[in-house]
Chain A
Amino acid sequence: DGGITQSPKYLFRKEGQNVTLSCEQNLNHDAMYWYRQDPGQGLRLIYYSQIVNDFQKGDIAEGYSVSREKKESFPLTVTSAQKNPTAFYLCASIAPGWNYGYTFGSGTRLTVV
């Protein structure tokens, strides 16, 4: 079955450490997105990519970086510059077409220890 795989499900980060969240899709979707969700809040866009080797900042890109070397993969690195990284991170992709919603991964819960 096609879908989006996010790993790991839980991740613990020490202060000053960079960590990378994996997102892989086998849906052949061009566009991929990273969202951050804090408790009791909606989703906020971190980065998105519409094509390989190209990506754009979203609303809260500071302290994060991404790459898109392959269509299937869109990893997110949470750098030490992100001062409050504890959150739930969701990766999504979308098929072309106006009426299609996102397909989401199951998320990664990142905690600073």
Chain B
Amino acid sequence: AQKITQTQPGMFVQEKEAVTLDCTYDTSDQSYGLFWYKQPSSGEMIFLIYQGSYDEQNATEGRYSLNFQKARKSANLVISASQLGDSAMYFCAMRETDSNYQLIWGAGTKLIIKP
């Protein structure tokens, strides 16, 4: 079974609009962490935001926020006021307890911002 599911293979969004990228996860651990990464066409992976399973507040980093709904096992990334430079692949990943710091990755969502 997929542990990380990103159901949107691709999305088009108008510049300056907000965008939500979906991520659902599956784990039986009580302690885990969720990550979002951005991969521009150049290929490097850029860390965006982290949410711990025990964090009571949703994580925020500048224009990025994580809509964490623990009961639903979802960790959606919200990008406010999208910019042309936000066009990239976005990956959701999870770290479970005793995972030797390994991350389990989703298949990604390709986001294209239209001018």
A: residues with CB less than 8 A from B are 31, 33, 40-45, 48, 50, 56, 58, 88, 90, 92, 94, 98-107, 109
Contacts and interface: CB of A to CB of B under 8 A. Distances in A.
B33 A41 contact: no
Contact of B45 (A41, A90, A98, A99): A90
Given A58-B102, A101-B50, A101-B103, 11 more contacts: A31-B100, A41-B108, A42-B4, A42-B105, A42-B107, A50-B100, A56-B100, A98-B33, A104-B45, A104-B46, A106-B42
A33 B42 CA distance: 20
A41 B107 contact: yes
Interface residues on B, range: 20 to 34
A59 to B, nearest CB: 9
B44 A99 contact: no
Given A41-B107, A42-B105, A98 B100 contact: no
Contacts of A45: 102
Contact of B91 (A42, A98, A99, A109): A42
B33 A42 contact: no
Nearest to B49: A101
Contact of A106 (B44, B95, B100): B44
Contacts, number: 57
A102 B45 contact: yes
Nearest to A94: B101
Contacts of B37: 101
B47 interface: yes
A88 B52 CA distance: 29
Interface string B30-45: 0001010100001111
A107 B107 contact: no
Contacts of A107: 43-44
A33 B50 CA distance: 19
B102 A88 contact: no
B105 A99 contact: no
Contact of A104 (B4, B33, B44, B102): B44
Contact of A48 (B44, B50, B52, B102): B102
Nearest to A50: B100
A102 B44 contact: no
